[in-house]
Structure 1
Amino acid sequence: MATTSNLRCVVVTPEETVLETEADFVALPLFDGELGVAKHHAPMIGRLGYGELRIRTSEGEKRFYVDGGFVQVADNVVSVLTNQAKLPTKLKADELAQEILTEVHSVSAGDEQIALSEKSVAQLRAQLRVAKRK
């Protein structure tokens, strides 16, 4: 593939291509921290965590909550493949806070149940952080 001079970002879910745009900078939540990508970034593949995807363009910043998946950076193209990509305006902070409380109080004994609940609460908290930054 020919190298382009501009950074492109493509965000894809199983249902649709959510976004395809030129970008100045992309910040991604990886499973083990955050990754920043600018033009001419070294090629890489990473596993996404859940959290806020930020895409800085000439028109401003676009933000999404992403829920796991993978990212590939190659030839000035950032390809984000994720289970979900939600705009902050689609996230309701009050409902998310209530879901967190419900999940925390509904945990029953058992290592597997506790692990699933902890993951669910972490995902809900990540969504809540994105929702509060509207």
Structure 2
Amino acid sequence: MADELTVDIVTPDERSFQGPANGVRAPGIEGSFEVRRDHAPMIAAFGIGPLIVKTEAAHEYADMHNDRIVFATSGGFLEIIENKVMVLAETVEPASDIDVERAESAEERAQRRLSQEVQAEERETYEAARDRARNRLRVAMGKVGTRQS
């Protein structure tokens, strides 16, 4: 395929995806961005949000209606060199593998803690936990790109 990239998504624990793609969209620290064939070499940080691999190839996690695989991620780095995209993620979870009840419980726990008086450092920790849980819920429910308070 002429528009192909080679994509490799890894975490400290596993390789989550490896294969061809037409593009990769990541939740960049300064805004989301997309990588296509012949993108300039780059290293970028990304944060909590959906990581989307656009592919026509059959893959166990592919949403065959949209030809894309959506992952919930909590941040990491993405490197592009000569049409090879290496994603080094803290965590990455395919939408189809997300346990919605577990994510809802995590969000509720974080919200409960945030409603109590906590130190600034603890507040940041609980806000990040809440944001990760909300991202997992949005990805699992197919509401990628929508805002929820």
The two structures share one fold, judged by TM-score above 0.5 = yes
Q: Cα–Cα, structure 1 residues 73 and 30, in superposed 2: closer, same or farther, change >3 Å? A: same
**1:94–1:5 Cα change, 3 Å:** closer
Match of 1:128 in 2: 137
1:21 aligns with one of 19, 22, 26: 19
SS of the equivalent of 2:27 reads: strand
Q: Unaligned stretches of 5+ in structure 2? A: 58-66, 144-149
Aligned pairs, number: 131
Q: Which position in structure 2 is the counterpart of 1:10?
A: 8
Match of 1:39 in 2: 37
SS at 1:128's partner residue?
Answer: helix
Residue type of the alignment partner of 2:123: I
| TM-score w.r.t. length of structure 1 | 0.88
Report deviation, 1:92: 2.3
1:28-74 per-position Cα deviation (integer Å, ceiling 9, x unaligned): 11122111011011111011211111111123211111221100011
* Counterpart-to-counterpart distance in 2, 1:115 and 1:16: 27
Distance 1:64 1:5, change over 3 A: closer
CA distance in 2, matches of 1:17, 1:109: 37
Instruction: Give deviations 1:92-130, integer Å, cap 9, x for gaps.
Output: 223322321221112332111111111111111111111
1:76 Cα offset (Å): 0.5
* 2:63 corresponding residue in structure 1: none
* CA-CA distance at 1:5 after TM superposition: 7.0
After superposing the two structures, state which structure 1 stretch, 100-109 or 4-13, moved more: 4-13
1:56-75 residue pairs with structure 2 within 5 A?
A: 56-59=54-57, 60-75=67-82
Q: TM-score, normalised by structure 2?
A: 0.80
Change (3 A) 1:16 1:92: closer
* Equivalent pair of 1:32/1:49 in contact (CA under 8 Å): no
Q: Distance in 1 between matches of 2:107 and 2:4?
A: 40
Partner of residue 111, structure 1: 120
Match of residue 83, structure 2, among 70, 76, 80: 76
SS in structure 2 of the partner of residue 30 of structure 1: coil
Contact 1:64 1:86 in 2 (8 A): yes
Aligned-residue sequence identity (percent) comes to: 27
